[in-house]
Structure 1
């Protein structure tokens, strides 16, 4: 057993209070005791932080939490430092839980902003909603954030994304369906130039996630097999760590 405090972020929710544009990271306590105002260490960020305010949620009601124990869930104010799967802990021995796998999306679309003057709101909205884990966003190698490729498990998630962008960030978008149906993460830290140099079919798309991970989007299993056969050193994975 471990007496020191440890917990992991399993959910992030943006704009829970529209008046304050707040963002809450939900942490499940795995060991020890949470105390409001305690100092802790954010393992993935490599930094110390103060857990100034713990919040519990019940429907629309919030309550400040002074103490919580293993098995409890507390909501921490997140200024944009947390990702799903992150660990916070105390004590000399750092704790890092296994990463939560990212399952491959099955539907893809290019999302572009209608009003180019709202680029800042568009980028902020896409990044924050992706960090919640409901959608995954990618951009083509070398491309900016004027438009992004969004991957989802179910097509209804596109409609939810568009509605939330409009209501919470005041951004309207175009959606263009894309023909990809298979995604693979490139294992290892492959440089962008090496990804560009891969022998791939013309309709295979090279992209990267918001953490810089490199991926390939395919329109068919045949194209996937081509990539594997014509690039002997290429190692692909069906799953990736959490991306945003």
Structure 2
């Protein structure tokens, strides 16, 4: 199969939502349809030891939440689908933001009872900013929830989207009879009381036909006709170009747990979702069908296999083909590296691949060469943008709880920081180490992983800081910058890259500093022009 066809075959997307909206369950059901797994793990019930395929860190199994982004791939109807299942929990938002740099489209999962939640708003804002095409999946229809039209309004208002329903529920909760698929013009019926199986799919071009009553009953038929008329009058017709330009968002209804509405979503998705899109580098825009390989690291994961202490760097291939044992330029270090066992993923199952194409995610064994945001090319000096570190909101001193284990502790901290789990700051004044995280739960994850993966113990002490700001002086030699460094000495630190960071202890102190030293710019992300 030629190169262009391989690109056209690929769909790389992320699934995002608020915790508990059913994101991991949806991922599993998609894998089930792709024949990649035989049975789905019970994501919720921790008593069942068979956990969700995409949750493979020990702490995720215990807590029943996704902590890291999983990469999964399967083939469906001759399309190669790469899913990035992201953590929904807000404490791990940074991992999700970074993952969004590696996807070509997203599916947003919304809980029918809770509607649009805060975390979903933040993530969708990032997608809108980057013009990533979005499909909305309204989940858990077998439960009592909000009215379908109210939900569509809420999605439009809270998320700022322009929606068009491509399927619509017939009843909801206890009255849920099935779904009318507007895109394919058919009806899917729920069967019996168990509501676990799809009894049948009936082609239905004309909803005005009296045969509808025979299928779903008189009352439901009348309501469905009224609903479809309203949809016709209120919502725009689906337009693929507008969807790809991120100007229109199709909506599907279903129940991932009961495998309902998932096939419709997947069938439509492989038809309309974009194949790998161009990506902006600092130097130029890179298009997928260029023959030279380029790619970037959007995630690093240590100890995916605790027995082997391995570190994997996840690379999104942007253009060209990535070949095993071929040397590539690691732009930041200006070294050529080659990889004898690049991995393709299926959650815990990894296989070595000889050749990968744009849109694919490849895991490279890393002995400490990579950092998040690194670029690999065939020789061209390119830097992909948009993978910054965000200003943390929680800070603690980290102390060694076992003096005999200081080497593993520092190695562990070093590797976990490279993964982007949190950020490490070293105070200029006394060299003490401070860990900054986006969410408080990450401290627990770090402590747990240091002990279980590196055999090191740590304790924390509170460090009262409000915000970390990266310092960008107009001129490093001017008097104002020197005075800023002298006066704020207590609050200055270096991040892992050696960039100067100001740790402001309050909003007031941050505002006063900005007023007093106007030539010293302060940034809330580590990437600034």
TM (norm. structure 1) is 0.90
Which structure 2 segments of 5+ residues have no match? 1-286
Q: Note the C-alpha offset of 1:236.
A: 1.1
Contact 2:302 2:311 in 1 (8 A): yes
Partner residue of 1:59?
Answer: 347
Distance in 2 of aligned mates of 1:22 and 1:161: 17
Partner residue of 2:322?
Answer: 34
Match of 2:448 among 139, 160, 163: 163
Partner residue of 2:332?
Answer: 44
Partner residue of 1:124?
Answer: 411
Decide whether aligned partners of structure 1 residues 73 and 169 sit closer, same or farther in structure 2, where only a CA change above 3 A counts. Answer: same
Which one has more relative contact order, counting CA pairs under 8 Å at least 6 apart? 1
Distance in 2 of aligned mates of 1:177 and 1:185: 21
Distance in 1 of aligned mates of 2:429 and 2:313: 31
- Greater shift, 67-76 or 170-179, is seen at 170-179
Distance in 1 of aligned mates of 2:419 and 2:458: 19
Partner residue of 1:173?
Answer: 458
Partner residue of 2:501?
Answer: 215
Partner residue of 1:186?
Answer: 471
Report the 3-state secondary structure (helix = DSSP H, G, I; strand = E; otherwise coil) of the residue aligned with 1:197.
helix
Decide whether aligned partners of structure 1 residues 194 and 51 sit closer, same or farther in structure 2, where only a CA change above 3 A counts. Answer: farther
Cα deviations by residue, 1:79-133 (Å, 9 ceiling, x for unpaired): 1010011000114x33221251111111111110111222111110111001111
Match of 1:7 among 276, 295, 300: 295
Q: Note the C-alpha offset of 1:195.
A: 7.7
Report the 3-state secondary structure (helix = DSSP H, G, I; strand = E; otherwise coil) of the residue aligned with 1:53.
coil
* Structure with larger Rg: 2
Distance in 2 of aligned mates of 1:8 and 1:77: 14
Report the 3-state secondary structure (helix = DSSP H, G, I; strand = E; otherwise coil) of the residue aligned with 2:312.
strand
Is 2:423 aligned against 1:136?
yes
Q: Note the C-alpha offset of 1:230.
A: 2.5
Q: Note the C-alpha offset of 1:233.
A: 2.6
Is 2:364 aligned against 1:76?
yes
Distance in 1 of aligned mates of 2:513 and 2:342: 48
Q: Note the C-alpha offset of 1:142.
A: 5.0
Report the 3-state secondary structure (helix = DSSP H, G, I; strand = E; otherwise coil) of the residue aligned with 1:225.
helix
Partner residue of 2:168?
Answer: none
Is 2:506 aligned against 1:225?
no
What RMSD in Å do the two structures reach over aligned CA positions? 2.1
Distance in 1 of aligned mates of 2:527 and 2:409: 24
Report the 3-state secondary structure (helix = DSSP H, G, I; strand = E; otherwise coil) of the residue aligned with 1:38.
coil
Cα deviations by residue, 1:119-159 (Å, 9 ceiling, x for unpaired): 11111011100111111111101544xx5201111111111
Report the 3-state secondary structure (helix = DSSP H, G, I; strand = E; otherwise coil) of the residue aligned with 2:338.
strand
Decide whether aligned partners of structure 1 residues 181 and 142 sit closer, same or farther in structure 2, where only a CA change above 3 A counts. Answer: closer
Is 2:384 aligned against 1:97?
yes
Match of 2:434 among 134, 143, 149: 149
Q: Note the C-alpha offset of 1:47.
A: 0.9
Partner residue of 1:239?
Answer: 525
Contact 1:185 1:236 in 2 (8 A): yes
Flag the structure with higher strand content: 1
- Greater shift, 47-56 or 72-81, is seen at 47-56
Distance in 1 of aligned mates of 2:366 and 2:483: 34
Contact 1:199 1:227 in 2 (8 A): no
- Aligned pairs, number: 236
Distance in 1 of aligned mates of 2:392 and 2:324: 38
Contact 1:198 1:231 in 2 (8 A): no
- Greater shift, 207-216 or 222-231, is seen at 222-231
Distance in 2 of aligned mates of 1:10 and 1:222: 35
Q: Note the C-alpha offset of 1:173.
A: 1.1
Which structure 1 segments of 5+ residues have no match? none
Contact 2:485 2:492 in 1 (8 A): no
Report the 3-state secondary structure (helix = DSSP H, G, I; strand = E; otherwise coil) of the residue aligned with 2:381.
coil
Distance in 1 of aligned mates of 2:468 and 2:340: 40
Flag the structure with higher helix content: 2
